[in-house]
Structure 1
């Protein structure tokens, strides 16, 4: 019989790692592992808990539902420390962890095979759909639509055909966008409009080759950001939980401090720009036209000192000369990070740069670029709003050498 080995840490994707570097899916730090060839038997340790969802480990959304909250928080910090290396600051805020059943937006897939409609998330590492019967991360209001949507799409989707479903729980009600679902014939349109009425949807839209068509808008989906109500375009990018957004906004506000002129790059709908505009003049830039239009309209109605600018910052990053007027800058790029913009920032004189990231790897790259340009990473605020996943978010404050942090 082989000797027991102990899990000493968690890998970036959530697998447990033994001291000799062997990976074990579903293992927590402190678990004992008995190997029989490639087969691993887990003897649970003090950090191992029983997953609450029946779809673990097949569903790819919750790789870490088997670890305690304390161990999960330790995983988040370790993930950042390994990426940053010597740049890791001593000043790290406690991890902000979103509660179960708090996810207010979700993208799901559906496919009809063998006369059955499967609807859910992809399984871990594959395109196979897990037909959701339980979900401990979605808001109950969104999960309650899974069964009715399954019945709707069973009639609307042909055998072998797939469809996409984007759900957003807004302050005005649920917004649904269906992709690859026909809405041309009268019976197809009536089936969808009847569904929207029966479930009191705020809006229902379909996306096809010609773009997005809204079939029903009983109420404009909206969210309040920084005290200003923002109308949402279909399938908007939002922070996935209200609690996570609040943690990120609070961290950004603290990092920016009393800056009077602030730039918000990759601003989206104004998650940070609108709260910051309460006490600063803000220039907000993004390549997403519908989001910029919604932000501009909201800022006008709210009377905020905010200029919303449509600009592709990957192709045309702000130059050091354009950055010169700002006292602080916030950037929240997609998972690819903001390498070109970071290089321009590294040559700029902006006193405080606040990076918001959803990808530790590209965040680490951009952080090194800023550090090489003379910035000091002096504080981190880790956020885990994709609860039980290996997805890590962070707010980081970089200060120009010689500038005192707020």
Structure 2
């Protein structure tokens, strides 16, 4: 049943919140002050119409925005969007009882996302290729995605559809991850079972017809026609198939610039949750770096790139699960600075070890404001001062935000 409500405020995920006699209702793609008609589904609702629009509303630039779950904020005017995103971070810090100056939001969208994952589904006799609708497994079919790099914008759906056609026999749900690299497209497909020899041959031929650099299934490389290289500082890195990568090229450069600036005086740095080396390879231009990452393939890629790059100082690598085996205090005490860039779950175990250490500088990079605040609070409760908080918007048009925090120890603990 349709009903009319007034949106009072926005939540952290960009949903509008209306207060009703039966509790809060969350409505996507609306703005504070708007009167809207909705259809409820529990505490969430589908937007039927905007009856009284906010002056901060603008027309979304993507024709798929209303149906697609990929973007959440294209209906917001630029200044409102920036203020909301920054205030969301401030509010999250306050909830963790952290009062720190938050610097202006840095726009790091650049040319757009350099990686996209498209879903291929077979709910009926037809094949459907696109993104998921909000809070749904229904596919919104797309012909292009305007928030990706130009090379991906039109080509990504074409590639995903061609792969779906080749692998549609079992009608299994597929996720096709496509990354734009300096040597072409790197494609990793998830959801398909073991390949038969004839399937591999057909996929090798398909990779040639699509001019892909590399094609893999669940990280298993089917064919590598050219090494899919990503430039990181002076180095060219070939990451493992499907491995972590910063969302945009400008986002990586911006984050790395903030990290290297903070560590400018450090002679020995530990780069934890290092990935394939976006920070380590740049830090090594001035410092010795020890890079630690759970993904062994990423460590191999980093080591190979470091050895092939002139002018870098010593980089050592270690494959280690930092959630279960964080670097311990005696290990940490040998470094002038530690860089943390964990997944969304944060680095609580590692933060506790750092809190007991003598490390004078910690640079925390996070894609989740809540876990950033939790980990920062652990350090601040043990002698660290949160000197700078810099929000970096490489997930533009979404509620996600990258945060860089620079923490220094005010008083160095005496050795026992």
Q: Judging changes above 3 Å, is the alpha-carbon distance between structure 1 residues 6 and 335 closer, same or farther for their aligned structure 2 residues? A: closer
- 1:301 is aligned to 2:311: no
User: Please, which moves more after superposition, 251-260 or 161-170?
Assistant: 251-260
Kept after mapping to 2: 8 A contact 1:357/1:363: yes
User: Please, which moves more after superposition, 15-24 or 259-268?
Assistant: 15-24
Q: Give 1:153 shift.
A: 1.3
- 1:158 is aligned to 2:174: no
Mapped partners of 2:53, 2:98: distance in 1: 34
Aligned twin of 1:213 = 220
Aligned twin of 1:135 = 145
Mapped partners of 2:231, 2:49: distance in 1: 49
Q: Give 1:371 shift.
A: 1.2
Aligned twin of 2:214 = 203
**TM-score normalised per structure 2:** 0.88
Q: Which runs of 5+ in 2 are unaligned?
A: 41-47
Q: Judging changes above 3 Å, is the alpha-carbon distance between structure 1 residues 144 and 36 closer, same or farther for their aligned structure 2 residues? A: closer
Aligned twin of 1:122 = 132
Q: Judging changes above 3 Å, is the alpha-carbon distance between structure 1 residues 156 and 5 closer, same or farther for their aligned structure 2 residues? A: closer
Q: Give 1:250 shift.
A: 1.2
Aligned twin of 2:11 = 11
Aligned ranges for residues 135-284 of structure 1 at < 5 Å? 135-142=145-152, 143-158=154-169, 160-181=171-192, 184-185=195-196, 187-207=198-218, 212-284=219-291
Mapped partners of 1:95, 1:28: distance in 2: 23
Aligned twin of 1:310 = 319
Aligned ranges for residues 327-346 of structure 1 at < 5 Å? 327-346=336-355
Mapped partners of 1:233, 1:22: distance in 2: 42
Mapped partners of 1:148, 1:321: distance in 2: 50
User: Please, which moves more after superposition, 18-27 or 295-304?
Assistant: 18-27
Mapped partners of 2:39, 2:115: distance in 1: 42
Q: Judging changes above 3 Å, is the alpha-carbon distance between structure 1 residues 32 and 178 closer, same or farther for their aligned structure 2 residues? A: closer
Q: Give 1:28 shift.
A: 2.4
Dislocated runs of 4+, deviation >4 Å: 2-7, 18-22, 34-40, 182-187
User: Please, which moves more after superposition, 138-147 or 364-373?
Assistant: 138-147
Mapped partners of 1:117, 1:337: distance in 2: 38
Q: Judging changes above 3 Å, is the alpha-carbon distance between structure 1 residues 88 and 133 closer, same or farther for their aligned structure 2 residues? A: farther
Q: Give 1:185 shift.
A: 4.5
Per-residue CA deviations over 1:179-236 (Å, capped at 9, x if unaligned) read 34467445433432222112211111223xxxx4322211111112121111221112
Partner of 1:205, secondary structure, is: strand
User: Please, which moves more after superposition, 36-45 or 279-288?
Assistant: 36-45
Matched residues, number: 395
Give the alignment's Cα RMSD to 1 decimal. Answer: 2.4
Mapped partners of 1:164, 1:35: distance in 2: 34
Q: Judging changes above 3 Å, is the alpha-carbon distance between structure 1 residues 37 and 203 closer, same or farther for their aligned structure 2 residues? A: closer
Aligned ranges for residues 61-140 of structure 1 at < 5 Å? 61-85=70-94, 86-99=97-110, 102-140=112-150
Kept after mapping to 1: 8 A contact 2:144/2:156: no
Partner of 1:87, secondary structure, is: coil
User: Please, which moves more after superposition, 187-196 or 228-237?
Assistant: 187-196
Mapped partners of 1:174, 1:200: distance in 2: 8
Q: Judging changes above 3 Å, is the alpha-carbon distance between structure 1 residues 132 and 349 closer, same or farther for their aligned structure 2 residues? A: same
Per-residue CA deviations over 1:11-32 (Å, capped at 9, x if unaligned) read 1110124688654321124x43
Q: Give 1:105 shift.
A: 1.0
Partner of 1:174, secondary structure, is: strand
Partner of 2:134, secondary structure, is: coil
Q: Which has the higher contact order (CA 8 A, sep 6+)?
A: 1
Aligned twin of 1:365 = 374
